[in-house]
Every structure is written in C-alpha cells, then in structure tokens.
Amino acid sequence: MDIDILLVLQEFREGAGSFLSDFLSKMTFLGELNTVLVIMAVVYWAVSKEFGSYLLMGWSGNRLVNGVLKVTACAYRPWIRDARIIPYGNSMTTATGYSFPSGHTMNAATVYGGVTVRKDMPAALRIILGLVVAFTAFSRIYLGVHTPQDILVGAAAGLLVMWLIAKMMKWIEANPQKDWLVLAVGLGLSAAVALYAGLKPYPEDFDVNGNLLVDGAKMANDTFKSVGWCSAFLIGWFLEKRFVRFSTDIPLIKRITRTVIGLLVFYAVSLIVVPLIKEWIPGWGGTMTSCFLQMFYVSFIFPWCIKKFEAPISGKADLVK
C-alpha cells in the first residue's frame, strides 16, 4: 500500500507541473543535516545558549535513535523496492542510508518541532513551526524518497525525543552537578550504537544480474555519523558547562560578529578539514572522527574562543570608559 500511495503522488506530481515540486524541494531543504546544524549552532552561539543546548541535545538523541532504527529495520529505499518509483529531480542525492525512518523528518522534528513541544513558546510560533515539520515530512513522500511509514514514525519519534529532552533539561537545571550522569549515559549509548551498527549482519539481496542491491556497510555510514555528532556534543556541552560558561546575553553587534566568524570557520572545517580526515582515516573511523570534530567545534571549541577572545576586548572597552 505504501508504494501505491507513492505512485499516486508521483502521477499527480508529473501532471501538476513543477510549482508544487519546487516548493516542496525547498521545504525538504529545511530538514537537511547541514541546514539544521547551522541553525542550531547560530542559536547556541548568538541567540540563546539555553535553547541552543536544548536543540543540540535533542538532535544528538534523535540522530542516535534514527541510526539505530535504520540499521535495525534495514528498509530499502522506495525506488529499490519498486522500479516504477522515480524520485523528483536530484532528490536522491540527499537520500542517504536506509529508508526507515526519515532522517529529514526527524531533523525537522528536532529544530522546528522542538519549539512546538515547549509550552513557554508563543502559540502562533508553535503552530507555524508545526506546519514546517508537517510540510518537510510530506515533501519526502511527495518527492518519492520515503514511504508514509518512514515519515510518520520519523515525526512521532522525533517529537517524542524532544519532549523527553525538554524534561531532562529541566532536571539538569534543577540538579546542575549531575550533568556528568547525562554525559556518562549518553557516551555509553553512543558506544553501544557504534558496536551494534558495526557488528550486526546486514541483508544481502541481488538483482537479476547478480549485483548487490544495497551495501549494508555503506548504509550504516549515517549511524556512525550520528555516533560522532552525539558523543562530541555531549563532551563539548559538559566541558563548556563546567569550564567555559560563555554567555549569549550580549549586544546585537556581538551576536552578528559571532555568527559570521563562527559560520566561516565552521564551513572551513566542513569543506576542508572533514574531507582530509576521511581521506586519512578510511571507513567508519574517519566518518566518526570527522563528525566528532565538526560538532566539537560547535559545542566547545568556538564557545571557548568566544570566552577567551571576547572578554579582553570587553575589558579594554571598560577601561576606556
């Protein structure tokens, strides 16, 4: 039935012209990894450290959940299951890993859904961002890269994780000295996920010519990315909380400066350093190491630089006054 739904949407898409397809392609962009990571980084560095920590913590949890479910279900993408499915445009290029559940949907459930589960947020904003989650999820089936159950489970799991993380962050706020417990449990779960993904067997199905349909080891790559991101955030979050303690209670010009500098270096790390690491360290080790570095920069290295280099500037300004 799921393939039948995709075929109906595909027929409608082909007859409706490109307007709706182009719109939903832009909506699906809002759920891409780099998009949500940049948004969360800017919030964490320059808007609200508390809210940014909540989003990054929730995203780390969602990535682990997504990674475990993907390598457990090992569900093939729709076009592999049925050759009649033809994804729209270049949608296949961002459809990495196994199909179930939708990573884009879980990403959207983190950043935009993370607002909807917070009752302290304005009602209008919660409704608008709830619609963004819905449109992002729907875009994945409309473009032909996921099935309905992929997005439904992705949305439900993503929002549930964010609700739990919101509760956990309140607990940490009331028990700040027990943050080490969150660190220990999170790193333990990350290690367990890495071992599970690395040791479990993957299905091997072949086409009529004897070619392997899906390389399970390659599909598990997304899970190892998740392990790198999650462990890096937890370590960086703990170190920043204990030893750095930067603030986002700053003037607008500093917020803009932080955003520009932080993102320039982030893109330098992502576009230059990350490919080099993957070249030097092949396989899953390189994947986890490069993702660890990327997130550790976001959660600790740049905040440490903020605290180290902004404070002397403020001090000199105070002396001048």
User: What confidence tens digit (pLDDT) does each residue in 96-132 have?
Assistant: 788 999 999 999 999 999 999 988 889 999 999 999 9
Judged by DSSP in three states, 177 sits in helix
Which residues form the domain of 138? Answer: 2-320
> What is the C-alpha to C-alpha distance for residues 84 and 184, in angstroms, rounded to an integer?
47
Q: Who wins on pLDDT, 232 or 208?
A: 232
Give the amino acid at 166. A
Average per-residue pLDDT for the chain: 91
Contact 52, 44 (CB under 8 A): yes
Give the amino acid at 216. G
Tell me the per-residue pLDDT of 125-163, one tens digit each, with 9 for 90 and over: 999 999 999 999 999 999 999 999 999 999 999 999 999
Tell me the per-residue pLDDT of 256-288, one tens digit each, with 9 for 90 and over: 999 999 999 999 999 999 999 989 998 889 999
> Does residue 30 surpass a pLDDT of 60?
yes
Q: Look at residue 312 in the predicted model and tell me its pLDDT.
A: 56
Contact 77, 109 (CB under 8 A): no
| Domain count for the chain | 1
> What is the C-alpha to C-alpha distance for residues 252 and 240, in angstroms, rounded to an integer?
22
- pTM of this structure: 0.91
Q: How confident is the model at residue 89 (pLDDT cuts 50, 70, 90)?
A: confident
**The dihedral of CA 213, 190, 109, 72: what is its sign?**
positive
Q: What is the mean pLDDT of residues 176-203?
A: 94
Q: What is the mean pLDDT of residues 234-239?
A: 97
Q: Write out the E strands in 53-162.
A: none
